[in-house]
Structure 1
Amino acid sequence: MVVEFWTSGRAPDPAEVAQRAEGAGFDGIIYVDSQNLASDCYIALARAAMATSHIKLGTGVTNPVTRHPATTASAIATVQSLSKGRANLGIGRGDSSLAYIGYAPAPLKTLKNYVIKLQAYLSGEEVPFDADSNVDSLGLADKPKASQLTWLPKDQAKVPVDVAATGPRAIAMAAQHADRVSLMVGADPERIAWGIEVARAARQQAGLDGDIPFAAYLPLIVHDDPERAVQLGEGSLASQARFSVMHGKVVGPVSEKQQTTLDRIHSAYDMTRHTEGSSSQAATLNMEFAQDFGIFGPPSYCIERLQALIELGVDRFFLPGGSMLVSNNEDQVRAVTRLVEEVLPRLRHGS
């Protein structure tokens, strides 16, 4: 099994961070779709596509609310064309992208219907108009009977759709309708195994043949001092852990101590300090929880933890690092350098 390691590309210059990530040896890079907190992800992906030659490019993640599915499909298909087949569409229910326009994450039914339409658009198929369609009111001599990306090149490979999921219903939906399930449940092997089992059971229940590939979003920092590693990664750790208690109820298997910390994260979460280390949610973290939900420590420890997840069936990891490559913080630059030089080469061919 070939294992891929992706990173995030939130930085002032998306082309520069993509070039740095490609040069460092990352297999892919994702750009967040959060219009109030980051520049447009599709423009970033287009710039990255033209500045690189082989690194894969994706959204990490978009949502089913801020864009019509035809618009999302057309945007990522354009990136697919520009990059000569390197695009990937990552999607979830939405978090900061919706909070900053006054909404909670989209209901699962909304995400499911959106993913189904995305798959159809990206396959070049016709998609029926929504029930509230009113194009008939225009009195046209002729009109489209359905929606379709008519410009898609016939020889262009379909963009894969991967769904970031935490709860059992979202994982099951992703397993039945996406091309990949990306688990956002932390780094605890018990929780990863649980998510994989939920997905496989859902596919079996739906009568779908074969397995589906799995990815995992993980907070991970390489540093000889685990406490310093947690300090460098506490912002991403708190934001990712929150998904396991998004609506106040913990999902998936957890210990009593983990539940207590997750409840504290939920109560303390300040969306105006989203992903920041010096935030009220980061202040709720402790070392025991950090080492359960994330991976923080020297190279040998990180290798051991990642290898355990690879053996469970994860073949793609979304890790911090892209923005750290262009950071002015020497500790951050050193951490990502050690990741790509001392950890990733030991794991690329899995188990």
Structure 2
Amino acid sequence: MNASLARLSAGGFSIGIEAPLDNDWTPAAEQARRQSARLPGEPDLRRHAELAQLADRLGFRALWVRDVPVYDPSFGDAAQVFEVFSYLGFLAGITRDILLGTAAVVLPIREPLLTLKSAATVQRLSGNRLLMGVASGDRPVEYPLFGRDFEGRGANFREQVALLLYGAQSGLPSGLSVLPRMDAPLPLLVAGLAQQSPAWVGEHMDGCLAYPGTPADHLRRVAAWRAVAGAKPYASFIHLDLAERADEPIQRWRFGFRGGRNALIDELHALRAAGVDHVGLHFRRNQRPLDDTFHEIAEHVLPLFHATSTLEQSDEHPETAVCGA
């Protein structure tokens, strides 16, 4: 298994963070957004570098960023605003240990050789910490902007996966190369099915990035993933609002919940029991300051799930539920 993938699930389970590093989906933050004239869904990133470094120091396993090339008001979500590979290069320079993941790069709207070069660059600059989440995309408005065919995105996805896995050498004129060279193929994790069959995804992808859900949802999805992919890592996300009172009971909403740290611990235990290997925590609904929340999770939650010694050793619809909804 790729070293970064081995680190992701070292000890049997791990916890990361999904960008943006701002709790902008809260009433207080919405008022601040209006005053600053930011767009709906555009986070305040003034502290993103500080918080990324804090997450790294506290021992969160991975930091995930999304690929949203064009802001669309009908979605109302600008993700972390910055271009995904440029941002990962920046994060590689200011962090040391945390894995850096894309969740996920929309391959069919991108120029393949430049995607390969960008990913190889981040992999080299980060010291092989890149986790390359990939997808076929679900926003039809983007495809004409990039001169791409929405209906053909499945075939385009397969072609780009082959390029990322095997390199560009066979398709280039003699004497040309894409640098930097990679010592090993990029670790590819798929979001959804990317217009492919479950069998194809299980064979060609190195891991799964599943939509958020309850432990019962993931129990079904993990079973479908294991049937086609074996023991390859399965990761997902939780939209979390961590309450100050440790024993505040869970109140579920779409993609996550509000609750105290005991509810979070119970949920993570249930997800691990369902077969989930990694969970990224998404804090845009979190009403408390993020640094306080990060510290509480690092002190009371991470030690229950992260096996330090194991991590150090490892440095070297039902039929469509595979890695999806």
The TM-score by the shorter chain falls in which range?
A: 0.5 to 0.7
Deviations 1:233-256 (A, max 9, x none): xxxxxxxxxxxxxxxxxxxxxxxx
Corresponding residue number in structure 1 for 2:213: 187
CA distance in 1, matches of 2:151, 2:237: 20
CA distance in 1, matches of 2:209, 2:157: 17
Corresponding residue number in structure 1 for 2:256: 294
Tell whether the 8 Å contact from 1:168 to 1:198 is kept in structure 2 after alignment.
Answer: no
Corresponding residue number in structure 2 for 1:318: 280
Corresponding residue number in structure 2 for 1:75: 118
CA distance in 1, matches of 2:149, 2:300: 40
Question: Per the alignment, in what secondary structure is the counterpart of residue 63 of structure 2?
Answer: strand
How does the TM-score come out when normalised to structure 2? 0.67
Report % sequence identity: 23
Q: Which structure: greater helix fraction?
A: 1
Unaligned runs of 5+ in 2: 1-10, 21-44, 71-77, 309-325
Larger Rg: 1
Question: Per the alignment, in what secondary structure is the counterpart of residue 108 of structure 2?
Answer: coil
Corresponding residue number in structure 1 for 2:190: 163
Q: CA deviation at 1:56?
A: 1.1
Pairing partner for 1:215 from 231, 235, 239: 235
CA distance in 1, matches of 2:128, 2:181: 12
Corresponding residue number in structure 2 for 1:3: 13
Tell whether the 8 Å contact from 1:70 to 1:118 is kept in structure 2 after alignment.
Answer: no
Corresponding residue number in structure 1 for 2:179: 151
Corresponding residue number in structure 2 for 1:255: none
Question: Which structure's relative contact order is higher, taking Cα pairs within 8 Å and 6+ residues apart?
Answer: 2
Tell whether the 8 Å contact from 1:63 to 1:92 is kept in structure 2 after alignment.
Answer: yes
Tell whether the 8 Å contact from 2:67 to 2:102 is kept in structure 1 after alignment.
Answer: yes
Pairing partner for 1:21 from 49, 52, 55: 55
Pairing partner for 2:64 from 19, 25, 30: 30
Corresponding residue number in structure 1 for 2:293: 335
Q: Evaluate the alpha carbon distance shift between residue 172 and residue 333 of structure 1 in structure 2; reply closer, same or farther with a 3 A threshold.
A: farther
Unaligned runs of 5+ in 1: 129-142, 204-209, 231-286
CA distance in 2, matches of 1:171, 1:14: 36
Q: Output the amino acid matched with 1:213.
A: P
Matched, 1:347 2:309: no
CA distance in 2, matches of 1:102, 1:229: 46
Question: Per the alignment, in what secondary structure is the counterpart of residue 191 of structure 1?
Answer: helix
Q: CA deviation at 1:113?
A: 4.4
How does the TM-score come out when normalised to structure 1? 0.63
Q: Evaluate the alpha carbon distance shift between residue 24 and residue 164 of structure 1 in structure 2; reply closer, same or farther with a 3 A threshold.
A: same
Matched, 1:303 2:265: yes
Q: CA deviation at 1:93?
A: 3.0
Q: CA deviation at 1:119?
A: 4.3
Q: Output the amino acid matched with 1:89.
A: M
Corresponding residue number in structure 1 for 2:204: 177
Tell whether the 8 Å contact from 1:3 to 1:316 is kept in structure 2 after alignment.
Answer: yes
Q: Output the amino acid matched with 2:173.
A: P
Q: Evaluate the alpha carbon distance shift between residue 167 and residue 81 of structure 1 in structure 2; reply closer, same or farther with a 3 A threshold.
A: closer
CA distance in 2, matches of 1:106, 1:150: 26
CA distance in 2, matches of 1:160, 1:59: 11
CA distance in 2, matches of 1:39, 1:348: 30
Q: Evaluate the alpha carbon distance shift between residue 117 and residue 16 of structure 1 in structure 2; reply closer, same or farther with a 3 A threshold.
A: same
Corresponding residue number in structure 2 for 1:114: 157
Q: CA deviation at 1:338?
A: 2.1
Tell whether the 8 Å contact from 2:52 to 2:95 is kept in structure 1 after alignment.
Answer: yes
Q: Evaluate the alpha carbon distance shift between residue 331 and residue 151 of structure 1 in structure 2; reply closer, same or farther with a 3 A threshold.
A: closer
CA distance in 2, matches of 1:6, 1:53: 15
CA distance in 1, matches of 2:269, 2:165: 34
CA RMSD of aligned residues (A): 3.7
Q: CA deviation at 1:117?
A: 2.8
Corresponding residue number in structure 2 for 1:51: 94
Q: CA deviation at 1:216?
A: 1.0
CA distance in 2, matches of 1:76, 1:315: 24
Tell whether the 8 Å contact from 2:153 to 2:195 is kept in structure 1 after alignment.
Answer: no
CA distance in 2, matches of 1:54, 1:73: 23
Question: Per the alignment, in what secondary structure is the counterpart of residue 235 of structure 2?
Answer: strand
Tell whether the 8 Å contact from 1:172 to 1:198 is kept in structure 2 after alignment.
Answer: no
